[in-house]
Amino acid sequence: MRKTVVDLFIKLLESIKEKTAEERQTLFTFMDDLISRIAKMTSDFDTKVGISAIKVSTILVQYNLLSEDEKGNVSKLVLNENAEIRKAAL
């Protein structure tokens, strides 16, 4: 279930490129409460959920939607012992 939600979030973010600035702002406002939850999911016990959340977080960084702490937590994952997580964090 968690992975499905994160994967849907990825699709939503990928569609943002096609939206107008006003539509993007509406989506970002809607997603605001979800963003912090997604950032927390980067360290989920289920590796697949964590990897999907990392992918979302890297997109969120491009739109400057993560706090400095959240960005720092994601960047630390580049040094994770799990190769799949390191790759997703790059």
Q: What is the pLDDT of residues 33-53, one digit of tens each?
A: 788 888 888 888 888 888 888
Taking the CA atoms of the chain, what radius of gyration do you get in angstroms? 13
Segment 59-76, tens digit of pLDDT: 888 888 888 998 888 888
pLDDT in the model for residue 1? 59
- Cα–Cα distance measured from residue 82 to residue 4, given in angstroms and rounded to the nearest whole number: 22
Least-confidence region, from 7-11, 21-25, 72-76, 80-84: 7-11
pTM, two decimals, is 0.75
Among the residues of 41-82, which ranges form H helices?
47-62, 68-76
